[in-house]
Amino acid sequence: MKLDSSVAVVTGGASGLGEATVRAFLSKGGRVAIMDRANSNGAALAESLGADKAMFAAADVTSEVEVKDALQKALAKFGAIHIAVNCAGVGMAMKTTGKGGPMPLEMFEMCIRVNLIGTFNVIRLAATEMLKNPANEEGERGVLINTASVAAFDGQIGQAAYSASKGGIVGMTLPIARDLSRDGIRCLTIAPGTFDTPMLAMLPEPARQALAANIPFPNRLGRPVEYAALAVHMVENPYLNGETIRLDGAIRMPPK
C-alpha cells in the first residue's frame, strides 16, 4: 500500500513510538489522525504538523463510543481510513504474590483491558471502515499494525499481567489476518525490545544504561524512528501478513 495516497490512524500517537510513526507516515506523504487521550499532547502535535496533513481525535482505546467517534472524525476530515497502528498501551510490574499479598486482580484486568482489549477494539472498528475502501492493484483495502513486546515471549519477574496482554496481541495476529484475508486487509504486529520512550526517560541514567547493556547489537536502547521505519515497511510490503516481528537488537530478556 502506498503511503502517499493513504490515511492512517495511530493510537498513542501523541508520544513515543506512536509519534515517531505519525512523523514517518507524514514524511512519506500520508495523512494521519492522532488518536490519544484527551489530556495528551495530541492536539498541539497535530497543529504543529499542519492541519492539512494531521488531526487529533481524542479517545480512550477501551471505549467503543470514543473510538467510533474518533474514527468518524478522521473519516469526515480525510475521507477514508487505510491504516491503523496500535501504539497505545500501559506498562506495569508486580509479582503474582508476595509478602504484601497477591497482585490486585484489578491491576491485571486493567492491563489486559488497555493493551489487549483496547487493541482489538480499534482493530475491529477500523477494519469495519476499511471494508468500504476500493481495493488497490494488489487487492488491498487496509493494513493493521499492532504493538506487542518481547515480554510476550520472555516476560520477566513481575510481568505476568504485561506479558499476558502482549502475548494476547501476538496470539490474535494470525487469526485476524485470516479473518480479513478475503477482504484484502492485512494484520501484523511489531514486538519491540527495550526502546528509548518517554516511559524509560523517567528512569535514572544508570538504570537506562543497565537496560542497554543487555542488548547484544546494537548495544543501546531502540530508537522510536526504528519502530516507525518497520511500520512504514509493513505498510508498503504487500506480502507481509499475519506475522509478528521482533525488533529488539537480538535481546532475550533475563528473568529480572
Mean pLDDT value of segment 142-159: 96
* pLDDT attached to residue 78: 98
**In the structure, what pLDDT confidence band is assigned to residue 182 with cuts at 50, 70 and 90?**
very high
Query: Mean pLDDT of all residues in the chain?
Result: 96
**pLDDT band per the 50, 70, 90 thresholds, residue 197:** confident
Structural contact between residues 146 and 190, judged by C-beta atoms closer than 8 angstroms: yes
- Set 25, 56, 162, 227: catalytic member: 162
CATH architecture of 3-195+223-246: 3-Layer(aba) Sandwich (3.40)
What pTM, to 2 d.p., does this model score?
0.96
pLDDT recorded at residue 254: 87
Q: Residue 190: pLDDT band by 50, 70, 90 thresholds? A: very high
Q: How far apart are CA 232 and CA 123, in angstroms?
A: 18
Indicate if 162 belongs to the active site. Answer: yes
Lookup: cell for 146:
499492532
DSSP characters for 199-228? Answer: HHHTS-HHHHHHHHHT-SSS-S-B-HHHHH
pLDDT in tens, 40-97: 999 999 999 999 999 999 999 999 999 999 999 999 999 999 999 999 999 989 999 9
Grid coordinates of 197? 520512550
Residue 47's pLDDT is 97
CB 71 within 8 A of CB 129: yes
Distance set, CA 215 to CA 28, 91, 252 (Å) = 30, 20, 8
Higher local confidence (pLDDT), 248 or 210: 248
